[in-house]
Amino acid sequence: MAGNVFGNPVTDELVQELYPGTKVTRKLKAEVAFQYINSGGKDVDAKNFVYGLKDKYGNGISPKCMIYNATGDTLTYSGKHDWHGHVWQSPYPAKIQNGQWGAFLHVHPSWFAGSESAIVYRGFNGEGYLCDWMLSWGIPYVGDNHVYTEIRESRHYETDHWDYIKGLLENQSTKHEDTWNGCHSVVTIGEGTSPEFVGIITLDGVTTSSGK
């Protein structure tokens, strides 16, 4: 397991143990992963990791970023766009398996600038079609923090939509969510200069149907 992902994956085998005789689908694996979002202290492990990076980095605008995969399959990092700042010391997680947290620290480029960036992860919807989940955040040097997320077809973000997305991001507040083609994502950010940024990447209906 890479050093920047946390938790045991939620696999077919685990789901079969929990639901004997039930057909294991991506949707069911996603629902179990969402139920297991804090199991084994993996959320705490992710938080401790990114807080440790922040302690090493020191003062300055730097969101502590944590992403959870509850899609029923593996997510693969497929790109980023930095308007201001860059990831620090530990890279974006290359792969986040179903039921795992990924964590990283993003830092501002200079004392008089903020952190504003977007990342893209690629995975499958419940029907097996590839989709791209885009998560973005902004911590301006002056002003309120904001987040924005959207989901589109695979490779959508290889075309330069970033000026348009920047405008959407800067008109949002501290929570945003999107549903598209059977996929769902939720992003939140705290207040202040070094808040937690949390992204949940999942399928449509999982966050409302889980808990059974």
Q: Tell me the per-residue pLDDT of 74-125, one tens digit each, with 9 for 90 and over.
A: 999 999 999 999 999 999 999 999 999 999 999 998 778 899 999 999 999 9
| CB atoms closer than 10 angstroms to residue 141 | 14
pLDDT at 112: 80
pLDDT at 210: 45
- Cβ contact 32:99 at 8 Å: yes
Rounded to 5 degrees, φ, ψ at 55 are -60, -40
Residue 104's identity, in one-letter code, is F
Higher-scoring residue by pLDDT: 151, 110: 151
Report pTM.
0.95
Cβ burial 77-109 (10 Å sphere, 16+ → b, else e): bbebbebbbebbebebbeebbbbbbbbbbbbbe
Closest CA to 27 of 209, 168, 211: 209
- Average pLDDT (146-162) is 96
Contacts of 128 (CB under 8 A, 6+ apart): 26
- Cβ contact 10:32 at 8 Å: yes
Alpha-helical regions (H) of 24-130 = 26-35, 42-57
Instruction: Give per-residue pLDDT as tens, 7-33.
Output: 999 999 999 999 999 999 999 999 999
Instruction: Give per-residue pLDDT as tens, 26-50.
Output: 999 999 999 999 999 999 999 999 9
pLDDT at 34: 98
What would the CATH number be for the domain defined by 5-209?
2.60.270.20
How do the residues of the chain divide into helix, strand and coil, expressed in percent and rounded to 5? 25, 35, 40
pLDDT at 1: 54
pLDDT at 209: 58
pLDDT at 72: 97
Tokens at 43, concatenated: 């959320």
Residues present in the chain in total:
212
Query: What is the C-alpha separation between 121 and 96, in angstroms, rounded?
Result: 9
